[in-house]
Amino acid sequence: MIADLLAALALSVALAMDAFAVALTQGARFRPGWKQGAAIALTFGAFQGLMPLAGWLLGSFALAYVEAWDHWIAFALLAFIGVQMIRASDDTYETGLPPLSGAALLTAAVATSIDAFAAGLTLPALGVPPLAACALIALVTAALSGAALLVGRRAGDRFGRPAEIAGGVLLIVLGASIAFEHVTAA
């Protein structure tokens, strides 16, 4: 049970890294006030929590067909998302982002949570109730995004790229852990 909770927490932190990186950059470049900062953190948290729920619901319809392969699917999806996060870490900072409010905030929230939709397909492999995992993902993302805004205001955007790379590596490790656990349990 503790290992399952740690895996859900690791997934939450890894999925939050792209929102963390964007929030860090926003804090560094635009120094939003507390109301705008709260809006950014809560919007990122909400989308990161809802997208895996949508992925899980879609995946639950197909679970009977893929149950024997779910651990390999989880590994492949998480590894793919992790590699994409690592590869995209350079692009995020070269193009720059506008200040996040209104449509730009919603666009950024969707863009940073697409990986959470794909990760939602892997929730049954975690051993944690999917709704609890989605709530944890939302809370962790909101908290880390809020913290990133504060850190960004003070430290600049030096840490955004390493945070996104760390998130990608964490997703790859989590996927490998799910596959390894299933293979060794069989």
pLDDT of residue 164: 66
Residue with tokens 């590869």: 87
pLDDT of residue 2: 87
pLDDT of residue 86: 75
CA distance 93 to 164: 11
Q: What is the CA radius of gyration of the chain?
A: 16
Whole-model pTM? 0.73
pLDDT of residue 183: 82
pLDDT of residue 175: 73
pLDDT of residue 178: 73
Domain parsing of the chain, residue ranges: 2-185
Tens of pLDDT, residue by residue, the chain (186 residues): 788 889 899 999 989 988 888 888 788 777 889 999 999 999 999 999 999 999 988 877 776 676 677 678 778 877 887 787 677 666 554 445 567 888 888 888 888 888 888 888 888 778 889 999 999 999 999 999 999 999 888 775 566 667 667 766 776 887 788 778 778 876
pLDDT of residue 41: 97
pLDDT of residue 59: 79
pLDDT of residue 95: 45
CA distance 109 to 146: 14
Category of 134 on φ-ψ map: left (φ > 0), alpha (ψ -120 to 50) or beta: alpha
DSSP string, 152-179: HHHHTTSSHHHHHHHHHHHHHHHHHHHH
pLDDT of residue 136: 96
